[in-house]
A and B are shown apart, each in its own frame.
Chain A
């Protein structure tokens, strides 16, 4: 019951992959959607569960991506070793920064994470000897699983599908566990969480690191799938896009993040037909969704279904 959403997710995505392996919207856009799902679910751990905000997650994505890119092209390291190195580097950096940054709240936290993201981005642009500058790095080798070289779109589709499912599984697990509740408690009321014996500073730091490391792993995968990385894949705009996904789907809900990521991946694909109107429509749709469904598309839908039933139930007991 707890994982029923995950099963539906797997059934739908695997079904699509098997039925339309060569369809552009499935194999190419679908793969991008999986990346966004991984990233949005990871960010939702930090934003939706713990109620914090990060406008700098693209930085962790970039660190993972560039570490993998550099280690595999320059030092011929195994992609999985490089990926772990990227994850460790991100882990170390986020651990170091977690305490001072997470002391900040609200807009100040947004500012600090935004600053962090931009500093990393500037570094990637300026240090051409290491990162290739604005044109980025290319020729990154594909990953190999056993003796299978993963380099077609549909192979990636299934791999990313598996990783997304894993991320969703992790997120759902965490929700119903000691630390997951602690995080959501911080979201609800930080002071009450402390009073219940939750070391909120440590819990926030832990989830920040967890979210950052998952983001970094997604970055590493991205670099192998794309065989290319440049700084605009990890820009401030991308950080904002990730936040938008999480909020659009429904803050705090794992499947909200999944829906938000899917919507924002497919929306531009359709808006492309409007040419010059694209930007305008994108902004308008974003605004409309948030105005009319402020809790997010997925959460509002679920709420709507549950609402009548719940209210009746409360009324009955409340008056007894």
Chain B
């Protein structure tokens, strides 16, 4: 009986062993793009479109013959949004897979965790995460494509100022994105003459935020600002309407996807948020230099996977900034690639027009952000 069990156990392990043998096979020297994304866990809605975008465009590039005859190979792993996993994965990308450049880090937490490693290993990293701490202070090997949370806060406060709002209630989650956004809001508010009259928090796995919003209702706030991503902002939006709060509701760029509109439904009407122009590509004037790029991306993505989000767009920007740099560098020397990434000028991406420099590893300004408002279940541009 006992032995029988052990034999069964051994078979199980053997069986698995056969299937688990890693695919060692490798072709001749392609360009290796490494990526570490949150494909599972609460931030998977970021990693998912990012991966799809990377796969889709690398396929396209390879169909067109690659870069200078080099095929492009994508090597990616799932972080689950966890910092510790991200560190191990990046070490694996560098040590085992020997990638030329890394595009990834869906969340700020995972990106911040690996900065030390890429700096020491001297591998260029283009992050897809929001926090300003990633590029400020400037780190030699680290770049990023999404607008910073500070820019989002600034854009929101700018809009509030225009509407004459001076008292704002803040409500944020307990994730890295939320916390970092909250810190930027608290820091920036006085510069715009805005007073934060409530600073409520929730946990991202919470099921209901009416308690926090009831407290906010009792303050003299003129607007509510919710910094967060995932399902929580949709719940907040619904709860605001449920409690009959008539104040303007601002969301962050963390909800810039069709999904938010689906989830929040009618409650989303009138919600404003700063986001990349991608969501309103069709509504841009034809003169807008970004329009062509945006529509191309949008059509390609939607033909294959369904509604776009700005998150996948960040991956598009990151991938092509990297590939252009490799093309210009005409070499797979990591230092040369890094130098060329830093020299990126007038790159028209989905997030805006990138102009990087040794002091600015993002290369976007506030104009890259558009202020959107939800009207009739769709995004519209606020002029």
Which A residues are closer than 8 A to B by beta carbons?
22, 24-25, 27-29, 32, 122, 125-126, 128, 133-136, 138-139, 153, 226-228, 230, 232-233, 270-273, 275, 278-279, 285, 288-289, 292-293, 297, 300-301, 303-304, 307
CA distance A284 to B268 in the complex (A): 41
Residue of chain A at shortest CB distance from B6: A304
Known contacts A133-B176, A230-B83, A304-B3; decide if A292 and B12 are in contact (CB<8 Å): yes
Binds A, one of B108-116, B258-266, B288-296, B324-332: B108-116
A133 touches B112 (CB 8 A): no
Partner of B112, one of A138, A292, A297: A138
Contacts of A304 in B (CB 8 A): 2-3, 5-6
Contacts of B84 in A (CB 8 A): 226, 230, 232-233
Q: Does B302 contact A (CB under 8 A)?
A: no
Q: Does B161 contact A (CB under 8 A)?
A: no
Contacts of B174 in A (CB 8 A): 122, 125-126, 134
Contacts of B23 in A (CB 8 A): 273
Give the secondary structure class of B's interface: helix
Interface string of B291-316 (1 = CB under 8 A from A): 00000000000000000000000000
A29 touches B88 (CB 8 A): yes
Contacts of B8 in A (CB 8 A): 292
B88 touches A32 (CB 8 A): yes
A270 touches B95 (CB 8 A): no
Contacts of A135 in B (CB 8 A): 108-109, 112, 131, 133, 176, 179-180
- Among A22, A24, A25, A128, max chain B CB count under 10 A is at A24
Contacts of A29 in B (CB 8 A): 88
Residue of chain B at shortest CB distance from A27: B95
CA distance A25 to B91 in the complex (A): 10
Residue of chain A at shortest CB distance from B12: A288
Known: A139-B116, A272-B77. 12 other contacts (CB 8 A): A24-B95, A133-B179, A135-B131, A135-B176, A135-B179, A153-B91, A270-B20, A272-B78, A275-B78, A304-B2, A304-B5, A307-B3
CA distance A292 to B13 in the complex (A): 12
CB under 8 Å from chain A, chain B span 174-201: 174-176, 178-180, 183, 201
CB under 8 Å from chain A, chain B span 7-47: 8-9, 12, 16, 20, 22-23, 40
CA distance A28 to B174 in the complex (A): 30
